[in-house]
Every structure is written in structure tokens, then in C-alpha cells.
Chains A and B, each alone.
Chain A
Amino acid sequence: MFGRSLFAVFSVMVAATACGGGSASYASVVDKAKNDKKLVIGVKADQPGLGLRTPDGAFAGFDVEVAKYVAKELGVDPANITFKETVSANREAFIEQGQVDMVVATYSITDARKQKVSFAGPYFVAGQDLLVRADEAALTGPETLNGKKLCSVAGSTPAQKVKSEYAKEVQLQEERTYSACVDRVLGGQLDAITTDNVILAGYAAQHAGKLKVVGKPFSTEKYGIGLKKDDTAGRKAVNDALQKMFSDGSWTKALQASVGASGFALPQAPQLERY
């Protein structure tokens, strides 16, 4: 077929020109770190406080700090990390296809995702919450959302949960970025944004005085580091690195530096779940 042969032509082109990372396959991320001294790590690029590409071209945020620490423990210098932007919808695909070696991108550990990838961690426990206009008094929790308009980002599932468990009459709006959600809530067109409290805190800080986090989390989201499925050695090594980060104080310091300014109450380091 034409399509197939065209595809072959393209694959040659890709190999010749745009050859990215991940073609040399290692069984475990540990081996790759040890041999290549390089890692490709998927992070968010548009979430202030967690993973954000800043005007100086670097990535900043808590996820990025965790990634750097873990990479250092695996023997990779921060300068040799290639941070790659991931969005919620393509995290599993990126890991499965080897486009990234690990994902540290507000990635909740769920059973469904465990079918496709392995998780180390959790390195943070967040909770689903609501972000509303600062003068909003009526919205105090997910059950008050009936008849209101709720924004979420495509590829995430939390909005569906609000509808099915707390407020059947809520109207859902999907946007592609949280910035777009924020604009529409500020514009009065939508009433609330839902996702994890720590993410919302970043936006509340950006719009101090105009937006607030409701502050009644109604779920537990355990952020894990996504690795290739069945990479047991990698999971163990990353968990060891996290354990060290928790105990030597780097974890608290990184969290404080990244989201502390927004007035977010810093929690204790979570308990690792080794499986």
C-alpha cells in the first residue's frame, strides 16, 4: 500500500533527521543513567509552582526539583537532563514508547495507569480542590456546584468525578490549558476550576486577591514518578532516591521554594508505597 511505503519513507527521514532520544533501549532507567549519563524526563511546562518553562528557558517548579534530585542519585548531572514537555493526555504514551525515561508531572498513581506504567513514590500527596473567584462565598465544596459551571483540562479525569459523586447538576467545560480556565473564571463565564490543590495554589498566587482555593480537598492524589512498566530495578532505585530526599530535608526545602509563597500549607513527606 502507498500509505505503508510512505510511512517507511518517513521513518527513514525521521531516523536521518529528527532522531530523538530513546532509540537505544535499556531494560531499566538505572542502566541508562549509568551508561549514558543522560536522562530525558517528562515534566509539565505550563504549571506554575510545579513544572513551568520560564522566560530564561529553564524549567522550574517542585516536580522539576524532584526530578533533578532523583537524577542526581541515579548518577546523572542536572546539566545532562533533557526536560521534555508532557501534557496530561500523553504521559502514558511517552513512557510506553520510550520518548521519555521518566515522568515527573503531577502524575497521580491509579490502578488504571498501573496497567500501562510503573510508579515510584508517591513523592507528594495532593487533594482535588476548587479554585474560585475571591469574592465567591457560595462555593464551599464540590457539593455546592449544582447548576454551576466547572472548568477542567482535557485529558484529566477529576471533573467527571465531581459530576458523578458530588453534584449531578454541574456543567463541565474542558479547556486545553489551565490559563484558559483561569481567564474564563475571571471573566465570570465559568464559576470554578477543579484539579489538585497544589496546582490550584500556583494560580491563586499568580492572581492574588482575585482567586482563592476553597481549601476542602475531597480526594487523595498520590503523585508518583512514572517509569516503564515492570522496570522493578528502576522503581527501587527511584524510591531509594526519594527516601533520601525526604530524610535529608531537600524535599521540604524544594516544596517551600516552589509553592510556599502561595500560602499553601506544607504537608509532611508522604509514606513511600513500594510494590
Chain B
Amino acid sequence: MEALLFERDTILAAFWMTVRLTAISALGSLALGTVLTAMRVAPLASLRGAASAYVSVARNTPLTLVLLFTGLGIGANLGVELSDDIATNNFWLAVIGLTAYTSAFVCEALRSGLNTVPVGQAEAARSLGLGFVKTLRLITLPQAFRAVVAPLGSILIALTKNTTIALVVGVSEASVRMREMIETYGDQVIEIFLGFAAGFVLLCLPMGLLFGWLSKRMAVAR
């Protein structure tokens, strides 16, 4: 217990990193996932092909490897430098990796959401003269979003927990802190684990409740 109290500030800093990684990657994934969904239902075969190939690859590669690729591939070999400061650079590399991975799941959820929108909706939109982009933006996607609030919530929770794997690109967030603390305070393993677990429960549980409530509230009555 003393360990947790003694290291309070560094633990809070680690969780603040977790929160920032989650928030930025979540926004990025939502944006990229929506674009990918639009691509997958687009009239152009090449767009559809590119998007579905991307989703297959990103969805089926372990996040550990995805982050390794962002670190070594984008960083070391493509020579992309996002900031001269290593910590900032790593942070953004982690965001890129988490976004690349998570957006594939967002895309899958949204696509199945589109499936729940009755055909008549799109047909009515078309009969009003709306084109592909407008049909998608004004009619079908909003309904799809409302149908997949709960799955999106699960994806967000998964993302929150997945930020622990950012240690692969050298971001020191909660899991790094926990490993270091276990090294230093070997006799308090259980307290340390429960402390960090509680941190994640505090982050994830409200999210789960919020999204459960939202999904009921926003469900499309049919």
C-alpha cells in the first residue's frame, strides 16, 4: 500500500498519459473508421478494394506488431519525424499505431450498422435526388451510428486497455509504471496490481455505463 501512496504522482501521470492516448486515438479512429466505411460502400471498386484490404490487414495483425511497424517502419525507415522531442515523437507514433488498428474495428462496426438501416431509407433518399455522398452523410450513416453505439463503446474500452501496449514504441504509460513498480516493490505485487486495475476500472466502467445508456437512448425505434 505504501508503494501506491508513495508513487501517487507518477501513477497519476501515467494514467493521464493513458487518457490522452485514448482520447486522441479514439477521435482519430472514429474519423478514419468513418472514411474507411464510406470507401467500403463506395461505387468505385478500387476504393472498396483498398479499404477492405486495409481492414483485413489491420484487424488481423496483433497490435504489438502494428505498433512495432509504426515505430520501426514509419519512424526509423520512412524517416518520418513528428517532433524533435523523443517523448512527443513516441506519443504520436503510438497514436498513429492505435488509430491505424482501432479504425479497422470502427469500420467493421459501422458497416454492420449500415446493414441494419432498412433499404427503403436509401431508396427514398435516392428518389429525392440525393447522390451517394449525401445519402451516406445525411440518411444512412447517422442511423448506422445510432445502431452501433454499444459496439463503439466496446471498441473505446478496448482502445483504453490497448494503450498499455504503447510501451512497444517507448511511451511510458500505466503498464510501464506498473512493471517498474513491481521491480522496485516486489513485496507489494498484489496491492500494486489492484491499484492499477482500479485505475482502469475507474476509466472503463463509466464508459461502459455511459455507452449502455446512450445506446438505449439513441436506438432507432422501428
Direct contact of A and B (CB under 8 A): yes
Selected contact of A189 from candidates B68, B81, B87, B186, CB within 8 Å: B81
Q: Per-residue 0/1 for A76-116: is the Cβ within 8 Å of any B Cβ (1 yes, 0 no)?
A: 00000000000001001100100000000000000000001
CA distance A32 to B71 in the complex (A): 44
Interchain pairs with CB closer than 8 A, number: 43
Q: Per-residue 0/1 for A162-193: is the Cβ within 8 Å of any B Cβ (1 yes, 0 no)?
A: 00000000011111100010011011110000
Across the interface, do B183 and A173 meet the contact criterion of CB distance under 8 Å? no
Interface residues on A, range: 20 to 34
Q: A89-B183, A180-B71, A189-B81 are in contact. Are A172 and B86 (CB under 8 A)?
A: yes
Nearest B residue to A185 by beta-carbon distance? B76
Q: Per-residue 0/1 for B20-57: is the Cβ within 8 Å of any A Cβ (1 yes, 0 no)?
A: 00000000000000000000000000000000000000
CB A172 to nearest CB in B, in angstroms, measures 7
- A236 close to B (CB within 8 Å): no
Q: Per-residue 0/1 for B152-195: is the Cβ within 8 Å of any A Cβ (1 yes, 0 no)?
A: 00000000000000011010100010010001001000000000
- B120 close to A (CB within 8 Å): no
- B212 close to A (CB within 8 Å): no
CA distance A175 to B167 in the complex (A): 9
Across the interface, do A173 and B90 meet the contact criterion of CB distance under 8 Å? yes
Selected contact of B179 from candidates A89, A92, A175, CB within 8 Å: A89
Q: A89-B179, A173-B86 are in contact. Are A189 and B75 (CB under 8 A)?
A: yes
CA distance A17 to B116 in the complex (A): 46
Interface centre among B71, B167, B186 (most CB of A within 10 A): B71
Residues in B neighbouring A183, C-beta threshold 8 A? 72, 76-77
- A149 close to B (CB within 8 Å): yes
Between-chain CB contacts (< 8 Å), 22 pairs = A89-B179, A93-B186, A116-B186, A154-B176, A155-B183, A171-B87, A173-B86, A173-B90, A173-B170, A174-B172, A180-B68, A183-B72, A184-B72, A187-B75, A187-B76, A187-B77, A187-B79, A188-B79, A189-B75, A189-B76, A189-B79, A189-B81
B residues adjacent to A (C-beta < 8 A):
68, 71-72, 75-77, 79, 81, 85-87, 90, 167-168, 170, 172, 176, 179, 183, 186
Additional 9 contacts, C-beta under 8 A, given A173-B86, A180-B71, A187-B72: A89-B183, A149-B86, A173-B90, A175-B170, A180-B68, A180-B72, A183-B77, A184-B75, A189-B81
